[in-house]
Chain A
Amino acid sequence: GDSVTQMEGPVTLSEEAFLTINCTYTATGYPSLFWYVQYPGEGLQLLLKATKADDKGSNKGFEATYRKETTSFHLEKGSVQVSDSAVYFCALSSGSARQLTFGSGTQLTVLP
């Protein structure tokens, strides 16, 4: 079945540091890939998505590129801020599935 493996946390960075959160997947066919973010006390929000190979999703300075050859969708940001502290979830949907398969989440803490 489908699965998502993402980098174990927690991750702690200083403000303005470079961020990478790794995500790899196993799926049938050609899945759509997503990053969701959960800020403290809030629900999950879609951060970015990519629907086909080599697509780059981007939002709020975050980027992720759909790499079919390595089955990866790593999240990156060049300069993190304290306000980026949150839990980040990689997810996919494949085939005719109307559901998301999530990774285990990565807790990011950014220190001033």
Chain B
Amino acid sequence: EAGVTQFPSHSVIEKGQTVTLRCDPISGHDNLYWYRRVMGKEIKFLLHFVKESKQDESGMPNNRFLAERTGGTYSTLKVQPAELEDSGVYFCASSQDPHRISPLHFGNGTRLTVT
């Protein structure tokens, strides 16, 4: 079984540019999550999809961030325009059931550097 895959693994962009991160969850997993770790601090929740619907987007920092999951398969997270404080590692995770029952499967993350 393929795990959660994310790409790119690294991205370096200039302030003001646009970046799109992609996440492919494990096949059949309806629940997809985005998390972010900034500056070696705690990992913070961004949002949660159930299939193609946004179940909870309370962690999205501002309207420069746009997440989509068309067709309920892969998801993209777009940052436009990027700011310096957006630098960090963006993790995607998926689960078949709500994670209180089954564990979250995480991808390796995308390291975003905004210069």
Contact = CB atoms under 8 A, between A and B. Distances in A.
Interface stretch (B65-73, B78-86, B100-108): B100-108
A89 B43 contact: yes
B11 interface: no
B100 A99 contact: no
A49 B56 CA distance: 24
B42 A102 contact: yes
Task: Please classify the interface of chain A as helix (H, G, I), strand (E, B), loop, or mixed, using the class held by over half of its residues.
Answer: strand
A89 B41 CA distance: 11
Nearest to B108: A43
B64 interface: no
Contact of B42 (A32, A42, A105): A105
Interface in A66-102: 89, 91, 93, 98-102
Contacts of A112: none
A51 to B, nearest CB: 8
Interface in B85-102: 91, 93, 98-100
B91 to A, nearest CB: 7
Interface string B4-30: 100000000000000000000000000
B30 to A, nearest CB: 11
Contacts of A42: 108
Nearest to A3: B42
Nearest to A89: B43
Interface of B: 3-4, 31, 33, 35, 37, 40-45, 48, 55-56, 59, 91, 93, 98-100, 103-109
Interface of A: 4, 32, 36, 41-46, 49, 51, 89, 91, 93, 98-105
